[in-house]
Amino acid sequence: MRALTPAEVLFDGEVPPAMLPACDHYAGSEKLMLKSLALQQQLGPVFDITLDCEDGAQVGREAEHAELVASLLGSEHDHFGRVGVRIHDFDHPHWRDDVRLILRAAKRVPAYITLPKIRNVPDAAEMVAFIEATRRELGITQPVPVQLLVETHGALTRVFDLAALPGVEALSFGLMDFVSAHDGAIPDTAMRSPGQFDHPLVRRAKLEISAACHAHGKVPSHNVSTEVRDMSVVASDAARARNEFGYTRMWSIHPAQIEAIVAAFAPRDEEIVTATEILLAAQSAQWGPTRYHDTLHDRASYRYYWSVLRRAQSTGRTVPQDAAPLFTKVGANGQVAS
């Protein structure tokens, strides 16, 4: 009997939960877009870049900005295919044109399209359906994943329904707009640390988004850190988002934040070694119960340790060579497949 991989046996035939790069870096101007793309080439695909058509476009020049974004997708600057776009919101007259212009002109389909200021499920569903219809009309073979930005009262009240929408791969929390939507009832200290983690209404919003994502196998993406000088603050924000609130991804608004965020979301070396040893022992036991350092393990803990190794890969950490059998399977013809 050949050795079965974790992806084959730990999810009862279902697709494992989505895993995206830990950092989502936003860039609005051409200068910042090119700088971000150059940094991605240097660091590798451990972070995504979102080219921003919403806040990045000047009023009246939305089409020109969308064309700029399209020209960078699949260009010599886009080395990994991990570049997405944020379009205008549902109430803006240009959001459909954003979709048409970008999908028609880009040499490579965006890795995802982010929809801002979602207010309710019907609006989000209509935008997702339009993106799907447009890509079919243009002969694009694969669906374009969609990420939703939760920053309004309406979106938060229906966050589980939003996470359940087909085509949606992630929900992001828009902290600034969410706090502002309370018309001064939440102090401005909740827009930054440590207040953003302490105010009850903001904590509730973060937890609801994270819980909804995990319930539906989607990726919860944490809001930005407004600190751009002291990277220890950014690292602390990322660690709290990950360890206390269950987020697996976080926004960046300054290039200096990227490495701090990726490092905070990456598993430690000892975690990677432990996960590898436990999973290899489980694989040898055909995924039955095992014992590791006097602790019993079964498929529930195996799923956890598999997520550690997947997270290590997505953050660019080195996975032991011994772990190779966990990521490959041998077909009936003897060929190795990922």
Report the percentage of the chain scoring pLDDT > 90: 88
Give CA–CA dist 58/55, Å, rounded: 8
Q: Is the model's pLDDT at 140 over the cut of 90? A: yes
Give CA–CA dist 298/300, Å, rounded: 6
Q: Which residue has the tokens 């989000």?
A: 124
* Contact criterion met (CB below 8 Å) for 239 and 263: no
Identity of the amino acid at 337: A
- The DSSP symbol for 170 reads E
Mean pLDDT for the chain?
93
pLDDT at res. 329? 58
pLDDT at res. 330? 39
User: How many CB atoms are located within 10 Å of the residue 263 CB?
Assistant: 18
Give CA–CA dist 76/104, Å, rounded: 18
Task: Kindly state the average pLDDT of the residues 23-39.
Answer: 97
Q: What is the CA radius of gyration of the chain?
A: 21
Peptide bond into 194 cis (omega under 30): yes
Q: Is the model's pLDDT at 333 over the cut of 90? A: no
Give CA–CA dist 152/154, Å, rounded: 5
pLDDT at res. 1? 61
pLDDT at res. 206? 98
Tens digits of per-residue pLDDT, 235-283? 999 999 999 999 999 999 999 999 999 999 999 999 999 999 999 999 9
Q: Is the model's pLDDT at 183 over the cut of 70? A: yes
Report the percentage of the chain scoring pLDDT > 70: 97
* Contact criterion met (CB below 8 Å) for 278 and 290: yes
The upper half-sphere exposure of residue 208, i.e. CA atoms within 13 Å in the direction of its Cβ, equals: 18
Q: Is the model's pLDDT at 73 over the cut of 60? A: yes
pLDDT at res. 86? 98
Tens digits of per-residue pLDDT, 78-117? 999 999 999 999 999 999 999 999 999 999 999 999 999 9
**Beta strand pairing status for 290-292 and 295-297?**
antiparallel
Angle between helices 299-314 and 269-284 (to 10 degrees): 130
303 membership: H or E segment, kind and range: helix 299-314
DSSP E strand stretches across the chain? 23-27, 47-52, 83-86, 113-115, 146-150, 168-173, 219-222, 249-252, 290-292, 295-297, 329-330, 336-337
Cα dist from 93 to 33, 86, 98, 233, 322, whole Å:
24, 15, 10, 38, 54
β-pair partners for 105 = none
